[in-house]
Amino acid sequence: MAEKKGKAGTGLEPNVAGLLCYVLGWVSGLVFLLLEKDDKFVRFHAIQSIVVFGAINLAYFILFRIPIIGWVFGWILWVLGFVLWIVLMIRAYQGEKIKMPVAGNFAQKQA
């Protein structure tokens, strides 16, 4: 559940702001991290978005430079990343915090 009712510092409901943290991957996470100063729910999702999708983008960038086997693993990573992206957006909109194994703990501490 969201930790506080009402609008976040962005003027949006916290669940909507949490969803929007994931819309453009780490980029929208960075935007919401810079805009939101008070709401821990939104900050959590913003930080988690930066860490998770930043790592996925970095891995994707590296894998696609390796011929054939890297391309195969890159496409598998893309599909898994897409599914994760959808799940995280839906759960954030529902007001839930899904803590990813490493990124979620880091986001919880930083938020």
Domain of residue 83, residue span: 14-99
93 is written with which tokens?
A: 């909109």
For residue 43, is it within any domain? yes
Structure confidence by residue, pLDDT tens digits, 61-89: 999 899 999 989 999 999 999 999 999 99
Task: List own/partner pairs for 101-106 with CB under 8 A and 24 or more apart.
Answer: 102/51, 103/47, 103/48, 103/51, 103/52, 103/55, 104/48, 106/47, 106/48, 106/51
Structure confidence by residue, pLDDT tens digits, 37-49: 888 999 999 999 9
For residue 78, is it within any domain? yes
For residue 58, is it within any domain? yes
Q: How is residue 5 annotated by DSSP?
A: -
Counted domains in the chain: 1
For residue 59, is it within any domain? yes
Please say whether the beta carbons of 13 and 93 come within 8 A. no
For residue 18, is it within any domain? yes
pLDDT for 62: 92
**What dihedral angle (degrees, nearest 10) is formed by the CA atoms of 101, 103, 98, 34?**
180
For residue 104, is it within any domain? no
26 is written with which tokens?
A: 């780490």
For residue 57, is it within any domain? yes
pLDDT for 64: 86
For residue 20, is it within any domain? yes
Check pLDDT > 60 for residue 4: no
pTM, two decimals, is 0.82
